DNA sequence: TCCCACCTTTACACGATCTTTATAGTCGCT
DNA sequence: AGCGACTATAAAGATCGTGTAAAGGTGGGA
């Protein structure tokens, strides 16, 4: 999942933002002053940085200037000022977006999502259709067919099958599947995989498409075209 | 290569934009007030004009109005105001796009590229009419018919249906739809999509045209002609 | 100004789907 | 063959997602 670095010295702001970002599944790291912010940016390699303009030690503009020498990470500036000069300076040294305090947390989340969309869009159209001897899977349409018979799968079932099909011939453990399908933030029983996989098998009709590797996991078997 | 004219009286903004456009290979010319902006537009014949709303001598709206009498060059308005009225006025007198300051230089570059793409495609409205087995949609006229029965849709309903129809067969998430229909600057509830989509379905009459993909989004199903 | 059309939010009900749990079945090893 | 461990499956309860109606808000046009 995407990584967000918050650089701000006001704990209340940091906590607020964190509280909104965590549930969205983002990995959040924080720094409360300029120098540690820079270090964190280097070590953590975030996808988006939320950067306060007013910071102890080194102000946001300074951070941004230095950051820009080594990276083109997406930076959203946070400022209490509404003064035009600040914005202009911020954008001049390379900020990508700007939010003035007080801001709506929802708006901030939306902007972060927009940023990530912009960043990730170049890779959008990967593997539109997975075609095998018996099974065909249109990822964009989320439709599956086996021997030209359309199969109706739920969201999780589709994602599960997709994860396996994208790794045809290789065993995926339950853990790996949980990670790919449920995302990192699942804390329930690992056996859910079994259950859903059973449903997938049943719906696919063909029991040879997915094989069990006892003690390890599951493997998708159909031959690619 | 494409020619861009920047009309803005703030040197910092002009420099910023220039700094981003030059490396992309654009030919950039600048003007710092209204009258010289107009002259430059005539002499330079740019492909895209970035026009500040607040200008000494003659404001951006005035420039745009005059410009439109003699040319249909692609104009992107720049404004510090976020007021809706400005936007509306700008678009009414013929702006093609709108960016509010502070803006992300990357976003601006992206918009310019989009503008050029639109200009350079043979016909401005690439898909003037979307035709399917049951539904027909005239994008320019904003008219829709199902089995030759004209359907009356509101602005949002039309845009929503259009976004889906243009991506026939693929699932669009609520987020994607919000982005396409409402633009990046919507921070409200996501469920608004459901409501409008419900209206569209009701008006279309045919429940098979748009299917729900539970947990993911919606998909337009009609076959293209 | 008032009115009307439209957009947005909210609430609720229904159904689909997910998760857990329990039990039966299967596999591999000795 | 027998044992232990792992897996398949069914069933039930909990949860989540969607459709829809209704209310409030907004802005444009008469």
**B6-59 pLDDT tens trace:** 888 877 778 778 877 776 778 888 888 878 888 888 888 888 888 887 776 666
Distance (Å, whole) CA B55 – CA B59: 5
List CB contacts of A204: < 8 A, sequence separation 6 or more. A135, A146, A151, A161, A210
Nucleotide with minimal C1' distance from the CA of A155 is C17
Closest CA to A116 of A53, A40, A25: A25
Q: Quick check: B221 contacting A, CB < 8 Å?
A: no
Q: Do A142 and B13 touch (CB under 8 A)?
A: no
Q: pLDDT tens digit string along B126-171?
A: 446 888 999 999 887 788 999 989 999 998 999 899 999 988 999 9
- The whole-angstrom distance between B17's CA and the closest CA on chain A is 9
Query: What is the distance of C-alpha B210 from the center of its chain?
Result: 25
pLDDT, greater one: A50 or B35: A50
Q: Which residues of B touch A24 (CB under 8 A)?
A: none
> Residue B122 — very low, low, confident or very high, per pLDDT cuts 50/70/90?
very low
**% of chain B exceeding 70 in pLDDT:** 76
Residues 154-183 of A with CB under 7 A from strand C: 154-157, 182
Binding-face residues of A in 50-89 toward B, CB within 8 A: 84, 87-89
The radius of gyration of chain A's CA atoms, rounded to the nearest angstrom, is 23
- The answer to whether the beta carbon of residue B154 comes closer than 7 angstroms to any atom of strand C is yes
Distance CA A115, CA A94 (A): 14
Chain D bases near protein CB atoms (7 A cut-off): 6-11, 16-22, 27-28
Instruction: Please give the helix or strand (H or E) that residue A138 lies within, else none.
Output: strand A135-138
Q: How far is the CA of A94 from the C1' of C21 (A)?
A: 55
The pLDDT score that the predictor gives to residue A10 is 85
Is residue B20 less than 8 Å (CB to CB) from chain A? no
Model confidence, pTM: 0.63
At residue B187, the pLDDT reads: 78
Q: Kindly state the average pLDDT of the residues A124-147.
A: 83
In A, minimum Cα distance to B180 occurs at A114
Strand D contact residues in chain B (73-132), C-beta within 7 Å: 84, 88
Please give the protein residue whose CA is closest to the C1' of the nucleotide D5: A215
Assess whether pLDDT exceeds 70 at residue A123: no
- The candidate with the shortest Cα–Cα distance to B163, out of B120, B217, B87, is B217
* DSSP state for residue A118 in the 8-state scheme: H
Is A155 in the B-facing interface, judged by CB distances under 8 Å? yes
Q: Which of B16, B106, B187 sits opposite A104 (nearest CB)?
A: B187
Query: Which residues in range 57-76 of chain B are in contact with strand D, contact meaning CB within 7 A of any of its atoms?
Result: none
Whether B125 shows a pLDDT value over 50: the answer reads no
Average pLDDT, chain B: 79
In chain B, the DSSP E strands lie at 3-7, 27-31, 48-52, 74-79, 97-100, 129-131, 135-138, 143-146, 149-151, 171-173, 210-213, 217-220
CA distance B52 to B61: 9
């Amino acid at each position: 999942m995407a990584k967000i670095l918050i650089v701000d010295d006001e704990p209340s702001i940091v906590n607020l933002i964190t509280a909104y970002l965590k549930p969205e599944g983002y990995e959040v790291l924080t720094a409360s002053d300029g120098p540690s912010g820079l270090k964190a940016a280097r070590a953590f390699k975030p996808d988006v940085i939320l950067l306060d303009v007013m910071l102890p030690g080194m102000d946001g503009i300074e951070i941004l200037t230095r950051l820009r020498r080594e990276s083109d990470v997406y930076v959203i500036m946070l400022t209490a000022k509404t003064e035009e000069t600040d914005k202009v300076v911020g954008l001049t040294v390379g900020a990508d977006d700007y939010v003035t305090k007080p801001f709506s947390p929802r708006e901030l989340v939306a902007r972060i999502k927009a940023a990530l969309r912009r960043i990730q869009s170049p890779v959008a159209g990967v593997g539109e259709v997975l075609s095998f001897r018996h099974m065909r899977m249109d990822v964009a349409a989320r439709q599956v067919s086996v021997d030209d018979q359309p199969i109706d799968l739920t969201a999780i079932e589709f994602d599960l099958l997709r994860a396996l099909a994208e790794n045809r011939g290789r065993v995926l453990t339950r853990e790996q599947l949980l990670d790919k399908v449920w995302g990192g933030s699942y804390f329930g029983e690992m056996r859910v995989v079994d259950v859903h996989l059973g449903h997938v098998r049943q719906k696919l009709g063909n029991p040879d498409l997915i094989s069990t590797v006892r003690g390890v996991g599951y493997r998708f078997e159909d031959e690619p075209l």
